[in-house]
Amino acid sequence: MIATILQKQCDVAIIGSGPAGISAAITLKKAGVDNIVVLERESEAGGIPRHCGHIAFGFKKYKRILTGLQYAKNNIEEALNLGINIQLNTTVTALGEGGKLSLVSQQGISELNAKRVLIATGTREKPRSARFVSGDRALGIYNTGALQGMVYLKQKIPFKRPLIVGTEIVSFSALLTCKKGGIKPVAMIEENPKPTVRWPIYYGAHLFGTPLFLETKINKIIGDQRVEAVILESAQGQKKSIECDGVLFTGQFTPESSLVRMSHIAFDSDTFSPSVNANGQCSDPAYYAAGNVRQLVPEKGRNAYFYTSDNPPNAVNISGMCWDQGGEVALNILESFSN
């Protein structure tokens, strides 16, 4: 059910209805914890996979290849069938001591006292601003997440001939999303001598006829109202201008962890994640964290225990890994109740 009345307390509040959050909710519910609430700030549940109208999701869980959209839908249906309460359009505005959450929803501002809280707020890509890229601040500069939202959720496109920056797994998703939207990228660039992930990028770039320039970075973005061109720079310092009407910055994931950063909870300022023990428990024992907010998708150059360019991942593993971790942390939460 999608609840409309806000409750004042619960056993477990889960922040975020992506794979980690929903998996935890289902695990807890099946284990007999009834008073669970999933808090979702968007008007639809499902998290980031919901933006991904392309494959390949859910293989591990459903034994077949799904689009992100179908995968998210399946997850949410399973949760709703179990009677899990998912509150949409509900934003957590502060994490208080001992599980006291400040919320805003269509019912206004309220507080929720949760015995345990699972932080499953996911991850996002680093925007152009935080990458210190030179040039104009024109229309047409986005991350993959924004592009996917436009193409799959709103049937709109923000550009027709963009430059794609980055060669991570998500950059492959960007190619698929462009294909879906009828967008023809002018090129894909990577600062390093090799793509971050090899097979899908070579395969994707070849499949869609997108030139891949390695050891190439942006020297300057040019555009008055809208992006008009980008000056590219090679490792040898050679520059060339390429006409395009947008720039898509892909990857360099950073946890969506501002709530934690602004709170009393210990924060790892190297990974931008909440500090957790082996159980996924935070410094305030009422709080746990799971999924990409714990930097499961490592930022390029960081200690990448999950995948590297020499150890290419399978796209399905990313959301699958969040799903697994959500379930594991849920069991730890369960155990904490019996202690």
Kindly state the smallest distance separating residue 251's Cβ from another protein, in Å.
12
Is 113 among the residues that bind another protein (CB under 8 A)? Answer: no
Is 41 among the residues that bind another protein (CB under 8 A)? Answer: yes
User: Considering beta carbons, is residue 104 or 331 the nearer one to another protein?
Assistant: 104
Residue type, 49: P
**CA–CA dist 142, 43 (Å, integer):** 22
Kindly state the smallest distance separating residue 35's Cβ from another protein, in Å.
26
Kindly state the smallest distance separating residue 202's Cβ from another protein, in Å.
26
Q: Is 307 helix (H, G, I), strand (E, B) or coil?
A: coil
Is 145 among the residues that bind another protein (CB under 8 A)? Answer: yes
Taking CB under 8 A as the criterion, which residues in 236-265 touch another protein?
A: 245, 254, 256, 258, 261-262
Number of residues written out for the chain? 339
Select the residue interacting with another protein from 2, 34, 97, 106 (CB under 8 A). Answer: 106
Is 125 among the residues that bind another protein (CB under 8 A)? Answer: yes
User: Considering beta carbons, is residue 55 or 331 the nearer one to another protein?
Assistant: 55
Select the residue interacting with another protein from 6, 80, 146, 212 (CB under 8 A). Answer: 146
Is 185 among the residues that bind another protein (CB under 8 A)? Answer: no
**CA–CA dist 121, 112 (Å, integer):** 17
User: Considering beta carbons, is residue 269 or 338 the nearer one to another protein?
Assistant: 269
**CA–CA dist 246, 217 (Å, integer):** 15
Q: Is 228 helix (H, G, I), strand (E, B) or coil?
A: strand
Kindly state the smallest distance separating residue 185's Cβ from another protein, in Å.
14
- Positive or negative: CA dihedral 267, 272, 278, 279: positive
For 92-98, the CB contacts below 8 A with 24+ separation are 92/15, 92/39, 92/41, 92/259, 94/259, 94/262, 94/263, 95/119, 95/259, 95/260, 95/262, 95/263, 95/264, 95/265, 95/287, 96/263, 96/264, 97/264, 97/284, 97/286, 98/284, 98/286
Is 179 among the residues that bind another protein (CB under 8 A)? Answer: no
Select the residue interacting with another protein from 7, 105, 192, 336 (CB under 8 A). Answer: 105
Q: Is 183 helix (H, G, I), strand (E, B) or coil?
A: coil
**CA–CA dist 204, 219 (Å, integer):** 25
Residue type, 277: N
Kindly state the smallest distance separating residue 32's Cβ from another protein, in Å.
33
Select the residue interacting with another protein from 63, 81, 155, 301 (CB under 8 A). Answer: 155
Is 225 among the residues that bind another protein (CB under 8 A)? Answer: yes
Kindly state the smallest distance separating residue 168's Cβ from another protein, in Å.
15
Select the residue interacting with another protein from 2, 4, 83, 137 (CB under 8 A). Answer: 137
Taking CB under 8 A as the criterion, which residues in 80-99 touch another protein?
A: 89, 91, 93
For residue 33, give both structure tokens.
Answer: 């914890």
Q: Is 338 helix (H, G, I), strand (E, B) or coil?
A: helix
CA dihedral 3, 4, 7, 12 (to 10 degrees): 30
Could you say which DSSP state residue 50 is in? Answer: G
Query: Which residues of this chain interact with another protein, rule CB under 8 A?
Result: 41-43, 51, 89, 91, 93, 104-106, 108-109, 124-125, 127-130, 132-137, 139, 142-143, 145-146, 149-160, 180-182, 220-222, 224-226, 245, 254, 256, 258, 261-262, 269, 272
